[in-house]
């Protein structure tokens, strides 16, 4: 977990730049990914460092200034709802009928390592509480 914390601290230095993120590069097919879902607003793929048997990252196709949840504005409400709805659709598609966890990391203390808002869908095992 220390590596994730270090990555989050480094990422925070570039948090609000217009530089392409790793997710932009995935969307542009510059970096390969294992897609599991796509529609007109979101793209979802398997995480390369999964923390559960199922670990999927769901990203908006257009950042529109939405680098982190705390930067959300009223104009983002529909997209935010769509991200959660997509998580439900993907969970059903993945057979996560016994439950799953949805995580949005925000900022350095929230361990956000990519400043392109994204949702983690994690399942396939018993989750513990409290998280983190």
Verify cis geometry, omega within 30 degrees of 0, for the bond prior to 130: yes
- 76 assigned to active site: no
Tokens 């925070």 correspond to 12
**120: helix, strand or coil:** strand
Give the whole-angstrom CA distance, residue 69 versus residue 84.
13
**75: helix, strand or coil:** helix
Give the whole-angstrom CA distance, residue 62 versus residue 21.
12
Give the whole-angstrom CA distance, residue 95 versus residue 77.
28
- Catalytic pick among 55, 116, 118, 120: 118
Give catalytic residue positions: 118
């Amino acid at each position: 977990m220390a590596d994730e914390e270090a990555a989050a601290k480094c990422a925070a230095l570039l948090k609000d730049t217009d530089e392409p993120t790793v997710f932009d590069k995935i969307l542009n097919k510059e970096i390969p990914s294992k897609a599991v879902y796509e529609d007109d607003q979101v793209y979802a793929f398997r995480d390369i460092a999964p923390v559960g048997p199922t670990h999927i990252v769901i990203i908006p196709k257009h950042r529109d200034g939405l680098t982190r949840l705390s930067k959300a504005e009223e104009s983002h409400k529909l997209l935010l709802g769509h991200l959660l709805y997509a998580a439900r659709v993907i969970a059903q598609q993945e057979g996560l009928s016994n439950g799953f966890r949805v995580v949005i990391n925000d900022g350095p203390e929230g361990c956000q390592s990519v400043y392109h808002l994204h949702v983690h869908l994690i399942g396939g095992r018993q989750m513990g509480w409290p998280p983190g």
